[in-house]
Chains A and B, each alone.
Chain A
Amino acid sequence: MTTSNTNMAETASARVTGYGISYAITSILSALLVVLKESNESVLNLMVSLTGHHWITHGLLDVILFVALGALLSSRNITMSGNTLISTVVGSTILSGLIIAGFFLQ
């Protein structure tokens, strides 16, 4: 992820990179949480008990994780090539979408 010889002209800013990676991680974890809560009643009940509805809890967790990870990763000044960042954002969106749609399709 961090390379000393990465051309700076081909990298996005630290904030854009940080929040881009944060989006990718959060979207995949969110998709995995869908599988977990729908497969495990105790997880679902725990999420319901926290806010009154599992979907509200899920949304709050996603937003909190996205913002917290984004702020943390932005401050780390991660250097990642722009094309890798784009692939990460697009790839995680496709993967998360397939996990969610695939789970409910079965």
Chain B
Amino acid sequence: MSKEMILMLHPTFGVLAMIAAVWVFVEALNASDANIGRLRNASVLSAILIWLAYIVGGYWYVIYYGGDKALIKAGPWPFAHGFFMETKEHLFLMLLLLGTFLPIAAYGDVVKKKVTRKLVLWTSALVVLMGLSMEGAGAFINMGVKVALLAKQL
């Protein structure tokens, strides 16, 4: 598999994890004995997808990112690495833990305890918001490489 394909898998797993977290949020709004199974399955799915995004993205970051990093830092958008990549790579670790916590909360008493349901709602919402910030930061990093390559051609 090419390194570009490996890189594309990272945001793909990330978006799918966010969709699964939205699914958890919607199920939690009306949690009952009828949908608790779906809610828990979606929370596990979200966690698995976040871990896949972490492993694939982490592999690419550790093995291949050095070249892009040098390009970005020498280009017109050095902040694409200095702020966005640095922040993203460390915020992702929190997202990984939060995504792991989501099924733990979902396997609590979501149906009978209102606070557990509220916790699942907040956790899934945070997973979505943090996931969106990861996608946004990724777009800046991508653009940082692009403008650096364009600047080299001029």
CB-based nearest B residue for A81 = B115
Q: Does chain A have a CB within 8 A of B116?
A: yes
Q: Does chain B have a CB within 8 A of A47?
A: no
Q: Complex: how many Å from CA A100 to CA B94?
A: 11
B119 touches A12 (CB 8 A): yes
What is the interface size of chain A, counting residues whose CB is below 8 A from a CB of the partner? 40
CB-based nearest A residue for B85 = A104
What sequence of 0s and 1s flags, for each residue 25-69 of chain A, a beta carbon within 8 Å of any chain B beta carbon?
011001100100010000000000000110110110011001000
CB-based nearest A residue for B115 = A82
Interface majority SS (helix, strand, loop, mixed), chain B: helix
Q: Which of B2-10, B23-31, B42-50, B100-108 is near enough to bind chain A? A: B100-108
A23 touches B97 (CB 8 A): yes
B96 touches A105 (CB 8 A): no
The list of the 9 closest CB pairs from A to B, nearest first, reads: A82-B115, A16-B108, A104-B86, A27-B94, A19-B104, A23-B101, A12-B116, A13-B108, A34-B90
Residues of B within 8 A of A (CB): 54, 58, 61-62, 82-83, 86-87, 89-91, 93-94, 96-98, 100-101, 104-105, 107-109, 113-116, 118-119, 122-123, 126, 130
Residues of A within 8 A of B (CB): 9-13, 15-16, 19-20, 23, 26-27, 30-31, 34, 38, 52-53, 55-56, 58-59, 62-63, 66, 70, 81-83, 85-86, 89-90, 93, 96-97, 100-101, 104-105
